[in-house]
Structure 1
Amino acid sequence: MKRDSRLSATLHALLHMADHTAPVTSEVLAKCMSTNPAVVRRTMAGLREAGLVTSEKGHGGGWRLARDLTAVTLADIYRALGTPEIFAIGNKTEDPVCLVERAVNHALGDALAEAETRLLQRLGEVTLASLADELRRHRSSVHQHGGPDHAS
């Protein structure tokens, strides 16, 4: 089953954008997201509607972060992406006749709802600023130990 990696790819792109003072083009972001510029524009349009990024047209244009990194949580970005499905598992039938399947659905439903609530709570606790700080620590450590610093 294919995983939905939009949140991860978008976070990657936003952290690259945080490293730039000038707007970043869809073409540049497409490279770091391993996709094409049309997908970037569609993704960024949703983030723009949520007030997370702005766009500038024309020569020298591109995408910029619209808010301070401390004011943007992973939950904000998740919602701006349209709240993709968190889990690939689910009930075989939503309204079963079989009593055994009803019991299974109830148990799975409770467990999945609890896990989703906790995950969304955690996403709300993590800011882009905390990810950028962690990135800086890793870069510092890599440079001190002579390892490669991958730009994308």
Structure 2
Amino acid sequence: MRRDSRLSGVLHVLLHMAEQPGPATSETLARAMGTNPVVIRRIMAGLRDQGFVRSEKGHGGGWTVACDFEQVTLRDIYDALGKPELLAMGNRTEAPGCLVEQAVNAALGEAFDKAEALLLSEFGQITLAALSADFHTRLAERGGFLTLENNHAA
């Protein structure tokens, strides 16, 4: 099963954007993320609808952060993405006729629900500001200057 990495990618993009002195184009963000500008525009449009980013058209336009990093949590961004599946595991059959499989599904379903609730609670405690602060700590330790295009070197 393929993992859904949109949350990680969007958080990555938002932190890069916060470091930019001006708007970042979809093309620039796509190059940094190793994806297509159409994918960036689609994701960013959803974030714009929620008020997390804004876009400006024309020469010198692009995407900018429109939210307060102190107030926005990972849970907020997760919700804005449409609440993608958190866990890759699931039941073999959703409505089994076998009583053994029903017992297995009940136990797994309860455990999955608890794990998901805990994870979403944790997401609600982590702000974008906390991620940004961690980035700045790592940047200071490295002692370098990083740009959107060259930030991915080890």
Give TM-score scaled by structure 2 length: 0.92
1:12 maps to which residue? 12
Conserved 8 A contact 1:12-1:32:
no
Kindly indicate whether residue 51 of structure 2 is the aligned counterpart of residue 51 of structure 1. Answer: yes
Q: For structure 2, which runs of at least 5 residues remain unmatched after alignment?
A: none
Aligned to 1:131: 131
User: Matched residues in 2 for 1:16 and 1:107: separation?
Assistant: 41
RMSD over equivalenced CA pairs, Å: 1.5
User: Which residue type is aligned with residue 57 of structure 2?
Assistant: K
Q: CA deviation at 1:96?
A: 1.3
Tell me, which stretches of 5 or more residues in structure 1 are unaligned?
Answer: none
Report the count of equivalent residues. Answer: 149
1:70 is paired with a residue whose SS is coil
1:85 pairs with 2:75:
no
Q: Secondary structure at the match of 1:137?
A: helix
Runs of 4+ more than 3 Å apart? 147-150
Pick the structure with more helix per residue: 1
3-state SS in 2 of match to 1:122 = helix
Q: Percent of aligned pairs with the same residue?
A: 56
Evaluate the alpha carbon distance shift between residue 148 and residue 50 of structure 1 in structure 2; reply closer, same or farther with a 3 A threshold.
closer
Instruction: Report the TM-score when normalising by structure 1.
Output: 0.93
Which residue in the other structure is 2:120 paired with? 120
Give the AA of the match of 1:28.
T
For the residues of structure 2 that align with 1:35 and 1:13, how far apart are their CA atoms? 12
State the one-letter code of the partner of 2:67. R
User: Could you list the per-position Cα deviations for residues 16-74 of structure 1 after superposition, in whole angstroms to 9, with x for gaps in the alignment?
Assistant: 00002311110111122210100000000010111111111111111111111111111
CA distance in 2, matches of 1:135, 1:87: 26
Query: Could you say which residue in structure 2 is the equivalent of 1:26?
Result: 26
Shift of 1:84: 0.8
Could you say if the C-alpha distance between residues 148 and 61 of structure 1 is closer, same or farther in structure 2, counting changes exceeding 3 Å?
closer
Which residue in the other structure is 1:94 paired with? 94
